[in-house]
Amino acid sequence: MTDFSRSYGSWAVIAGGSDGVGAAFAHGLAARGMNLVLVARRAAVLDECAAAVTSEYPVQVRTVTLDLAGDTAIADLERATADLEIGMLVYNAGADTRSAEFLERTLDDHRSLVHRNCISVLEAAYRFGGPMVARGRGAVVLITSGAAWAGGRTLSSYGATKAFDLVLGEGLWAEWRDTGVHVLSLVLGATDTPSLHRTMDPGDRALADPHDVAEQALDHLADGPTWIYGSENPTGGSPFGSLDRRSAVLAMSAPRH
Ligand SMILES: NC(=O)c1ccc[n+]([C@@H]2O[C@H](COP(=O)([O-])OP(=O)(O)OC[C@H]3O[C@@H](n4cnc5c(N)ncnc54)[C@H](OP(=O)(O)O)[C@@H]3O)[C@@H](O)[C@H]2O)c1
């Protein structure tokens, strides 16, 4: 048994665990001896990630193909893992799939984003976090974004969902800090993932390496409530500091070069 499985339990669920940051968490957790439940929509990508992990580490991997924006997604996931003790939840899926203004998107598009990024996150924290608190050990990592710091043009509903995740994680940290369950809201900036490249051309913008992101988060699970990857002050506040809200929103909305 490794330190990680002793501290948290031997199985981790990664919601959005087939590529990018989620796959990096899968490798990082498997390297620490954790068995994995990987969740995503595309079965082929999921299977590829599971095969890559099991070829490298002596751990078990279960794949669950489902859409986290679906009404019954988390109840289905709970059923699919009912025979396992889930000691860690990494809720990773959450990227915006296109950069567009509020009214350029359909209402269904917004609803689906909110469901995957808010309702399912809350439900997963409730359904998997409750048993962790009862056992007195576990960890919950909610992946959020710098888009949570302030509203911004083309970021309205996405940023709002990420602010929800940031604050939800912080609240859970405050409630569970004496129970043995670690909670971390992990704030990411631009990160080199397939999803980012599908959404935008990063040009010469510096991108974080997903493996560095996952390693840093796994090394700092106990340093919640918030960890800001790439910040000089990773447990600190918003990079907008004491800017008034209007200036922060305008800064968030400025075109990036
Ligand atoms: N990349 C960045 O620059 C960046 C910046 C700031 C914050 N973040 C945050 O980091 C997290 C990871 O981002 P990412 O860029 O790696 O892309 P992502 O699309 O959020 O994550 C990719 C993973 O999630 C799965 N996924 C996405 N939507 C899903 C759904 N509806 N149901 C089930 N699985 C789903 C994908 O597999 P399938 O597509 O097969 O379902 C894949 O395994 C997100 O929470 C994002 O908000 C990313």
The C-alpha atoms of residue 192 and residue 204 are separated, in whole angstroms, by: 12
Note the pLDDT tens digit of each residue in 135-163. Answer: 999 999 999 999 999 999 999 999 999 99
Please spell the DSSP secondary structure of the chain, one letter per residue: --HHHHHH-SEEEEET-SSHHHHHHHHHHHHTT-EEEEEES-HHHHHHHHHHHHHHSS--EEEEE--TTSTTHHHHHHHHTTTS-EEEEEE-----S----GGGS-HHHHHHHHIIIIIHHHHHHHHHHHHHHHHT-EEEEEEEEGGGSS--TT-HHHHHHHHHHHHHHHHHHHHHTTTTEEEEEEEE-SB--HHHHHH---TT---B-HHHHHHHHHHTTTS-SEEETT-SSTTS--TTTT--HHHHHHHHHSPP-
- Does residue 166 have its Cβ closer than 6 Å to ligand 1? no
- Does residue 81 have its Cβ closer than 6 Å to ligand 1? no
- Does residue 170 have its Cβ closer than 6 Å to ligand 1? no
CA torsion angle for 35, 135, 162, 16 (degrees, to 10)?
20
* Predicted local distance difference test score (pLDDT) of residue 194: 94
Pocket test for ligand 1, best of 91, 158, 191, 207 (most atoms within 8 A of CB): 191
Residue whose structure tokens are 């670690």: 182
Please identify, by atom number, the ligand 1 atom nearest to the C-alpha of residue 208: 3
Percent of the chain with pLDDT over 90: 91
Check 8, 57, 91, 158 and give the catalytic one.
158
* Predicted local distance difference test score (pLDDT) of residue 204: 87
* Predicted local distance difference test score (pLDDT) of residue 200: 86
* Predicted local distance difference test score (pLDDT) of residue 99: 86
Note the pLDDT tens digit of each residue in 191-229. Answer: 999 999 998 888 888 999 999 999 999 999 999 999 999
Q: In what order do the strands lie in the sheet with 86-91?
A: 61-65, 35-40, 11-15, 86-91, 138-145, 181-188, 226-228
Average of pLDDT values for 95-110? 94
Pocket test for ligand 1, best of 66, 71, 92 (most atoms within 8 A of CB): 92
Single out the residue of 14, 15, 16, 18 nearest to residue 45, CA to CA: 18
Q: Which two tokens stand for residue 33?
A: 């001896």
Output the pTM of the full model: 0.98
What's phi and psi for 185, nearest 5 deg? Answer: -90, 115
Average of pLDDT values for 68-96? 98
- Does residue 63 have its Cβ closer than 6 Å to ligand 1? no
Distance 35 CA to ligand 1 centre (A): 21
Pairwise pLDDT comparison (257 vs 34), residue with the higher score: 34
The yes-or-no answer on residue 158 being catalytic is yes
Percent of the chain with pLDDT over 70: 99
- Does residue 77 have its Cβ closer than 6 Å to ligand 1? no
The C-alpha atoms of residue 8 and residue 135 are separated, in whole angstroms, by: 10
Q: Is the pLDDT of residue 1 over 80?
A: no
The size of the chain, in residues, is 257
Note the pLDDT tens digit of each residue in 46-76. Answer: 999 999 999 999 999 999 999 999 999 999 9
Return the CATH fold of 3-253: Rossmann fold (3.40.50)
